[in-house]
A and B are shown apart, each in its own frame.
Chain A
Amino acid sequence: MSYRIERATLPGGAIDYHIAGTGKPVLYLHAAGGVSISKPMEALAQTHTVYAPVTPGFDGTQSLPGIDSVLTYAAFVGDFAEATIGARFDVIGSSFGSWVAMWLAVLRPDMVDHLILQVPAGFRFDGKGGLPDDPAARMKALYAHPDRITAPPKPGPVMAANRLTYEAMAALPAGATVDEALNARLAEISAVTLILLGTEDPVVPASAGAHLKRHIPVSQRSFVFDAAHAIESDQPDRVSRLWTEFLARGQGFVLNRGAAA
């Protein structure tokens, strides 16, 4: 199932998005590296219609005036979804995308059905977590299995622009490592939520997932064994299984149905 790129023109500006598949709609919100079509995304498109918007300023696109923070982008995503996807859909976020997804679930609770927060950014406690600056350490933090990377590398200027855009949008008040405004509203997330973490991920430590689990009212979290931050790349089959089961069965995904499945 191959993805194609389309463009939506909204009052706030145009946004590109990748789309593939048929079936119940899923909004996929990418990480700070931009959109990379992973094996789980390809598999998901077998059973769902997947929309993966490109955050303005990422992957060679132009930034949009007024879309300069996670919060403003989340509101813009809500507009995009209303115009392009429909009234209600599932949401999968990855890292930066999870941060956006949480704000979307707060701002537009009517829209978000199931919510999957992969390695969610925006909550770093006690000085733990974050991407290292050293390139080798950064690579190790992202990938436990770099041999499994399937997405083609992006040009250096694109990666640099992605990083600048991310740093601008994700900027917090001086000294802060937690999005306190979002933190204060986590209890408003009404979507049934699954938080995914990699056991080898130093970027988003387990404590961040535990905090979200504690404060999002209907939530579960799972560790994906032997995965660093890029869990879709490190463990595509495990991530696919979790996505499929959770999106199909919600809270019931914890029940082993044996042969009945």
Chain B
Amino acid sequence: MKFNFFHLMPYPDFDREPHEWPVSTQGIDSSHITGLYRTYVDQLIEAETSGFDWIGCNEHHYSPYGLNPNPNLIASALAMRTDRAKIAVMGNLLPLLNPVRVAEEYAMIDVMSGGRLIAGFLRGIPHEYIGYNVPPDESRSRLREATELILKCWTEDEPFGWEGEHYQFPAVSIWPKPVQKPHPRILMSASNAESAEFVAKMRAIMGITLIQNLDAAKEAITHFRKVSNGYGWDPTPDDILVGQQFCLCDTDEEAHAVMASAQDYFHQTLMRPQRSAQQLVLQQSRYYTGSDIGENFQKRLATLRARNVQEQIDAGSIICGGPDSVVRQIRRLKDELGCGIINLTMKVGNMPDSVVDRGMALFRERVVPQVASL
């Protein structure tokens, strides 16, 4: 079993309940954020010696939800200051970006880290299409084309051009190429049938997050395995990543209380401004189509928001508790889902950094010895 210390890099001190997205920065002191970046990057680096196999972050825009519009900048710092852990960028939001630039930056990270990049190719969440002025209707076709273009950028030694639906590049030859051959592992979301098809075709690691219940997650993973078989391969546990919010304290009671408070900030402050913008995208575009219409991101979030901490633990949505409880919950995920990688969001909302740091120490001393061999 492998674990990713995933950092959303939230702004933890927002003292209002924002009502619109993008969120105003009035009154925000950027020099305070300098300290946050130092703390967050230090936590990620510390994670390497705390039993985590991967360390990673992701991309979000225009709000305190995540201070990381370009996770590749953070990843480059991690690449230079760590030695062993995989650098998991989870990921770049391909439909919003120049795919050739993504290929170049990811290749740089892979080279700088000596071949440790896990390259996340994600579609993003609906409202961010407003921010970069990209039609949400094109999200899937852009993701598909950008993915194939990036793989060509990484694997073709001779210069080439690209004539596509969304992208035209007459002359490409990126320098450097990645260290990992034929290319770094890629990771994509496969929460529904439509996305699973493409993830299987690309032989990517499938990621699944915002689990409402283990049966639904199991069904998605089973579907992914079946589709992958159709493409001539059989996913192993190392090809399946499950994402969870995480809180590990000395006791269950402390962990539950900390998680409840942190999730309150997460939902009421960090997530709140996105809802209306997301609703706009959902109502006026075809961001969700086919099988995922009834199972979209916003509905899953609303379901989780309505549950208390214990209910979320029972449903398999989060991992929370003292060391023994956390070990049991990890074993359960492994047994039920057959996943080989768990992505742990270690700082949820405004969870105190002292709790995150203590959780890392407990993870190294009390959890890893019991779960590493799973």
CB neighbors of B among A236-258 (8 A)? 238-239, 241-242, 253-256
Complex interface: chain B residues within 8 A of A241 (CB): 163
- Interface of B toward A, CB cutoff 8 Å: 145, 148-149, 152, 156-165, 167, 170-171
| B162 and A220 form a contact (CB under 8 A) | no
Closest 6 CB pairs of A and B: A222-B161, A225-B164, A254-B170, A210-B158, A213-B158, A238-B163
| A253 and B148 form a contact (CB under 8 A) | no
Give the docked Cα–Cα distance between A239 and B163 (Å): 8
| B158 and A225 form a contact (CB under 8 A) | no
Query: Does any Cβ of B come within 8 Å of A221's Cβ?
Result: yes
A sample of 30 cross-chain residue pairs with beta-carbon separation below 8 angstroms, ordered by A number, consists of A199-B152, A209-B160, A210-B156, A210-B157, A210-B158, A213-B158, A213-B159, A213-B160, A220-B161, A221-B159, A222-B160, A222-B161, A222-B162, A222-B163, A222-B170, A223-B152, A223-B161, A223-B162, A223-B163, A225-B145, A225-B149, A225-B162, A226-B145, A226-B164, A235-B163, A238-B164, A241-B163, A242-B163, A253-B170, A254-B161
Complex interface: chain A residues within 8 A of B164 (CB): 224-226, 238
By beta carbon, the residue of chain A nearest B145 is: A225
Cβ distance A256 to chain B, nearest Cβ, rounded Å: 8
Give the docked Cα–Cα distance between A242 and B157 (Å): 22
| B170 and A224 form a contact (CB under 8 A) | no
**Cβ-defined partner of B163 (8 Å) among A209, A224, A256:** A224
Query: Does any Cβ of B come within 8 Å of A154's Cβ?
Result: no
Complex interface: chain B residues within 8 A of A221 (CB): 158-161
Give the docked Cα–Cα distance between A206 and B152 (Å): 10
Cβ distance A124 to chain B, nearest Cβ, rounded Å: 17
CB neighbors of B among A83-97 (8 A)? none
Complex interface: chain A residues within 8 A of B167 (CB): 225
Complex interface: chain B residues within 8 A of A220 (CB): 159, 161, 170-171
Since A209-B158, A223-B161, A241-B163 are in contact, a sample of 5 more A-B pairs with Cβ atoms closer than 8 Å, ordered by chain A residue number, is A199-B148, A206-B152, A209-B160, A213-B160, A223-B160
Cβ distance B163 to chain A, nearest Cβ, rounded Å: 5
| A226 and B158 form a contact (CB under 8 A) | no
Complex interface: chain A residues within 8 A of B170 (CB): 220, 222, 253-256
Query: Does any Cβ of B come within 8 Å of A24's Cβ?
Result: no
| B162 and A206 form a contact (CB under 8 A) | no
| B165 and A214 form a contact (CB under 8 A) | no
Cβ distance A217 to chain B, nearest Cβ, rounded Å: 13
Cβ distance B202 to chain A, nearest Cβ, rounded Å: 13
Cβ distance A119 to chain B, nearest Cβ, rounded Å: 14
CB neighbors of B among A186-223 (8 A)? 199, 206, 209-210, 213-214, 220-223
Complex interface: chain A residues within 8 A of B171 (CB): 220, 254
By beta carbon, the residue of chain B nearest A242 is: B163
Complex interface: chain A residues within 8 A of B162 (CB): 222-223, 225
Give the docked Cα–Cα distance between A239 and B168 (Å): 12
Complex interface: chain A residues within 8 A of B158 (CB): 209-210, 213-214, 221
Complex interface: chain A residues within 8 A of B145 (CB): 225-226
| B156 and A206 form a contact (CB under 8 A) | yes
Cβ distance B98 to chain A, nearest Cβ, rounded Å: 14
Complex interface: chain A residues within 8 A of B157 (CB): 210
Cβ distance B34 to chain A, nearest Cβ, rounded Å: 39
Complex interface: chain B residues within 8 A of A206 (CB): 152, 156
| B148 and A225 form a contact (CB under 8 A) | yes
Cβ distance A258 to chain B, nearest Cβ, rounded Å: 13
Most buried by B among A220, A255, A256: A220
Complex interface: chain B residues within 8 A of A235 (CB): 163
By beta carbon, the residue of chain A nearest B144 is: A226
**Cβ-defined partner of B165 (8 Å) among A210, A213, A225, A239:** A225
Chain A positions 76 through 115: 1 when the CB is less than 8 Å from some CB of chain B, otherwise 0: 0000000000000000000000000000000000000000
Give the docked Cα–Cα distance between A146 and B59 (Å): 38
Complex interface: chain A residues within 8 A of B159 (CB): 213, 220-221
Cβ distance B317 to chain A, nearest Cβ, rounded Å: 37
Give the docked Cα–Cα distance between A206 and B159 (Å): 12
| B163 and A225 form a contact (CB under 8 A) | yes
